[in-house]
């Protein structure tokens, strides 16, 4: 075991991440075997399913990446799902009901997300409010704003074939009769940027250190409030980006929803090795975590169960993963 851990390649990727990849493969095999058993004449192994998993992972991925920054500071953001919906509703409403150009509407999505990030960040750092209650309050505000803005109507973004439907190509593009998951590439690119921010820039360095020991960083003469706020802003912005990929997959958005995605995003994050206690985070881990969540979601649906099972499973996953992390920490101290 130790030998494997010391292997150069293993070290480079990270042992835990390799285990997660293994889990993903095992789960895939499991679903491949179980799906025909549970639901005769259905197959799990198909390109369209892979594509579906990838598409789900896309918007979840952006949500998860964002919340990784916040969790790294030792905080939490429960508003990401509803903020994503709010952004999609506002952008889509401008597009469909007011006839704004598509590019502007995509920008609106990102801006709405960023605005909520700023709100959360300021309340938590400068207001001194607990992050969980702040973000739950802004979750309500996001739901309300979304509904009010669209007058409680759901919004349908244009289909691929319709004019202004090119945004769907961001998720997947048809080339020679095959759907290519472009979105996944964009997600990976986004993740790469996030990884650079987290590991190579001042912002990332301070965000991680704040999560580990806020007071020591403050006493080093660092403006901790500024950097902590930035984590929330990044999180909000990425939720706005996630909105674009959500509508590219689903086109229709309903007001008043979105909170179910919070847990999936957080689950992806903690599974990937980001500690709820703050201070350590892994972008690569988050990505794999999200892919596992996406696979679970697809697998559960494929076996003929409804997504309700997914709620239970992610709930339990978060509890278990966080418990393991807690115990590890306690033992080290």
Partner 1 sequence: MGDVILTMKGIDKSFPGVHALDHVDLELRKGEVHALMGENGAGKSTLMKVLTGIYHKDSGTITYEGREVEFSNPREAQDAGIVIVHQELNMLGHLTVAQNIFIGREYMKGKLIDDKKMNEEARKLFDQLGIDIDPTETMSRLTVGKQQMCEIAKAISHEAKVIVFDEPSAALTEAEIEELFKIIRDLRNKQMGIIYISHRMDEIKVITDRVTVMRDGGYVGTLITKDCTKDDIINMMVGRVIYEDPKTESAVAKDAPVVLKVEHLNAGRMVKDVSFELRKGEILGFSGLMGAGRTETMRALFGADPKQSGDIYVNGEKIEIRTPQDAVQHGIGYLSEDRKRYGIVVDKSVAENSTMASLENYMKGMFIDKKKENDVAQKYVELLRTKTPGVDQLVVNLSGGNQQKVVIAKWLVRNCDILIFDEPTRGIDVGAKSEIYQLMNELVEEGKSIIMVSSEMTEILRMSDRIVVMCEGRKTGELGIEEATQERIMHAATLRE
Partner 2 sequence: MTDKKKGNAFTDNPLVRAVGLQKIVVLLVLLLMIIFFAAVSKTFRQYPTILGILDGTYYLAFLAMGVTFCLITGGVDLSIGTGMFCYALAGGFLITHKDMPVIVGILVTLLCGLVMGTINGLIVSRGGHAPFLATLCTMMIVRGLGAIITGGASITWPSHSSPNGWTRMLFKLPVDRTMYPVGIIWVILAAILLSIFLNKTRPGRYIIAIGSNKEATRLSGINVANYQMLAYIISGFCTGLAALAYSSAYQSMAPSGGGGIELNAIGAAIIGGTSMSGGSGSIAGTIIGVCFMSVLQSGLPMIDLQANYQQIIIGIVLIVAVYIDVLKNRKLAR
Least distance (Å) from partner 1 to the CB of residue 201?
6
Least distance (Å) from partner 1 to the CB of residue 191?
17
| Piece in contact with partner 1 (CB under 8 A), picked from 79-87, 121-129, 199-207, 317-325 | 199-207
SS3 of residue 175 by DSSP? strand
Verify binding: residue 194, partner 1, rule CB under 8 A.
no
Residue 43, contacted partner among partner 2, partner 1, none, CB below 5-8 A by kind = none
| Piece in contact with partner 2 (CB under 8 A), picked from 26-34, 166-174, 208-216, 318-326 | 318-326
Footprint on residues 251-270 left by partner 2 (CB under 8 A): 255-256, 259-260, 263
Using CB under 8 A, which of 11, 174, 200, 327 touches partner 1?
200
Residue labelled with tokens 């697998």: 299
Given a contact cutoff of 8 angstroms between Cβ atoms, the answer to whether 164 and 95 are in contact is yes
CA distance 7 to 75: 34
Q: Which residues pair with 178 in a beta bridge?
A: 175
Least distance (Å) from partner 2 to the CB of residue 134?
7
Verify binding: residue 156, partner 1, rule CB under 8 A.
no
Given a contact cutoff of 8 angstroms between Cβ atoms, the answer to whether 227 and 197 are in contact is no
Verify binding: residue 232, partner 2, rule CB under 8 A.
no
Q: Nearest-5° angle of CA 267, CA 10, CA 74?
A: 35
Least distance (Å) from partner 2 to the CB of residue 301?
13
Verify binding: residue 129, partner 2, rule CB under 8 A.
yes
DSSP 232-284: HHHHHHHHHHHHHHHHHHH-EE-TT--THHHHHHHHHHHHTT--TTSS---HH
Residue labelled with tokens 């902590």: 228
Residue 42, contacted partner among partner 1, partner 2, none, CB below 5-8 A by kind = none
Footprint on residues 204-233 left by partner 1 (CB under 8 A): 205-206, 208-209, 212-213, 215-223
Residue 208, contacted partner among partner 1, partner 2, none, CB below 5-8 A by kind = partner 1
Taking CA atoms, 261 is separated from 63, 72, 188, 266, 310, in Å, by: 8, 19, 20, 9, 11
């Amino acid at each position: 075991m130790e030998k494997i851990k010391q292997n150069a390649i293993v070290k480079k990727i990270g042992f835990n991440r390799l285990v997660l990849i293994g889990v993903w493969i095992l789960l895939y095999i499991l679903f491949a075997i179980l799906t025909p058993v549970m639901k005769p004449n259905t197959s799990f192994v198909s390109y369209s399913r892979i594509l579906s998993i990838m598409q789900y992972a896309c918007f979840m991925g952006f949500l998860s990446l964002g919340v990784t920054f916040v969790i790294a500071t030792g905080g939490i953001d429960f508003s990401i799902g509803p903020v994503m919906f709010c952004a999609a509703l506002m952008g889509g409403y401008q597009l469909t009901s007011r006839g704004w150009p598509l590019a502007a509407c995509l920008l609106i999505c990102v801006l709405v997300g960023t605005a909520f990030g700023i709100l959360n960040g300021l309340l938590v750092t400068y207001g001194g409010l607990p992050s969980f209650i702040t973000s739950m309050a802004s979750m309500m505000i996001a739901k309300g704003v979304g509904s009010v803005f669209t007058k409680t109507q759901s919004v349908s973004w244009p289909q691929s074939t319709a004019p202004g439907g090119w945004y769907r190509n961001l998720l997947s593009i048809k080339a020679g009769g095959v759907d290519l998951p472009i979105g996944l590439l964009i997600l990976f690119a986004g993740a790469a940027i996030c990884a650079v921010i987290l590991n190579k820039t001042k912002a990332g360095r301070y965000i991680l250190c704040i999560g580990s020991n806020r007071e020591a960083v403050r006493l080093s003469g660092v403006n901790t409030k500024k950097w902590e706020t930035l984590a929330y802003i990044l999180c909000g912005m990425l939720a706005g980006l996630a909105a674009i990929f959500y509508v590219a997959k689903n086109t229709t958005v309903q007001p008043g929803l979105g909170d179910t995605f919070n847990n999936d995003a957080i689950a992806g994050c903690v599974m990937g090795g980001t500690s709820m206690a703050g201070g350590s985070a892994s972008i690569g881990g988050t990505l794999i975590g999200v892919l596992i969540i996406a696979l679970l979601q697809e697998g559960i649906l494929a076996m003929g169960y409804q997504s309700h099972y997914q709620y239970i499973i992610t709930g339990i996953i978060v509890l278990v993963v966080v418990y393991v992390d807690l115990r590890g920490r306690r033992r080290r101290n």
